[in-house]
Amino acid sequence: FFFNDTATTEIYTRSIVGSVRCVQETGINAEYMGFQNQGMTQGKNPKNFRKKGVKKRTTHPFARKEWYEVKAPAMFEKRTCGLTPVTRTTGQKIASDSLKGRVIETSLTDLKKSDEGASKAYRKIKLIVEDVEGSSCFSNFHGMDVTRDKLCSLIRKWQTTIEAHVDVKTSDDYYLRLFVICFTARMQRQLRATSYATAAKIKLIRRRMVEIVMKRVQQLSFKALIPELMDEKIEEEIKKQCARFYPLQNVLITKAKVLKKPRFDASKMIEFYGDHASSANEILAQAPIQTEEPKNLLAGAEKKQIHLSFILIKLFHILSLIHISEPTRPLYISYAVFCLKKKKKK
């Protein structure tokens, strides 16, 4: 300890030395008094608590993961759009069940081979996993969106923003919700700085936009509609037909959602994966389609059950039933647990 005054330093040193001598004479532990251990006591700091028992060995979460390839439908140029991890099958938790229904979001650039995809990098595509085969996940179109920076770059002053949304059904019973946005443009030889449309013209343009979208989508199937959304053919039609009301610019379908879709059918998956015939055939082979082969298998399973029950009736006086499980999958026989009966005392 250092002080400016020498006398103060000497007094402080003598007081500490006296305290140490007092502790030594009385026999009190000096470490307990805090002369050797200047830190907090173990009881007051929760970080110093020592847990009993051996510390559990922790493993990294990704050590139990498997990687699956995500396959895109035939309407996209690139068929493999990435990898997705999932926990390995353990017990009753199957890895394929965890993958089904998973939504993967990617850029349209990653799904196009040509240089045209680079100009449409603002498009975000959502794919949903429909089926799993081996280490591949077969996905389908689930939605489309636009990046925020693209949308913010279109909104400017001195122009009118017109938005519309419509719920429509395709020819093959897919329900979609589409959101459309457009902006008014300057006319030829216009001197005025602003390009504001009147309320009456805004209603006409919005009504015409909804009519064009509904008419076009209802004529197309779901597979034929997706390329039109990506190529912006509907936007060109809106811009052309609404020019008689007011010139438009930056017409864009900002979002597309799949609200409702038909029940999963393996034959539809074959249409979406037309060039992957082998993979589609494998999906079709595993799909629960009513054919003659499953009936024969079911008949064979029933015969085995009858034969097994006949054997158990013979051994009923020896065995005692404990538990019978329900079949977890179709065409699988449930199992039963028995134990030997105790012999009756004479």
| Single pTM value for the model | 0.62
Cα–Cα distance between 343 and 346 in angstroms, integer? 9
Mean per-residue pLDDT of the chain: 75
CA 164 from centroid of its chain's CA atoms: 28
What pairing do the DSSP bridges indicate for beta strands 123-133 and 103-107? antiparallel
233-241 vs 222-231: helix axis angle to the nearest 10?
70
Mean pLDDT across 210-220: 94
Residue 241, SS3 per DSSP? helix
Q: Is the pLDDT of residue 46 over 70?
A: no
Q: Of residues 257 and 34, which shows the higher confidence score?
A: 257
**pLDDT tens figures, 124-146:** 999 999 988 888 899 999 999 99
For CA atoms 320, 325, 326, 331, the dihedral sign is negative
Number of Cβ within a 10 Å radius of residue 294: 13
**pLDDT tens figures, 141-172:** 999 999 999 999 999 999 999 999 999 999 98
233-241 vs 199-219: helix axis angle to the nearest 10?
140
Q: What are phi and psi of 81, to 5 degrees?
A: -105, 0
Contact 219, 172 (CB under 8 A): no
Contact 156, 195 (CB under 8 A): no
Name, in order, each residue with C-beta under 8 angstroms of 279's C-beta and a sequence gap of 6 or more. Answer: 71, 133, 136, 138, 273
Cα–Cα distance between 193 and 184 in angstroms, integer? 13
Q: Is the pLDDT of residue 298 over 90?
A: no
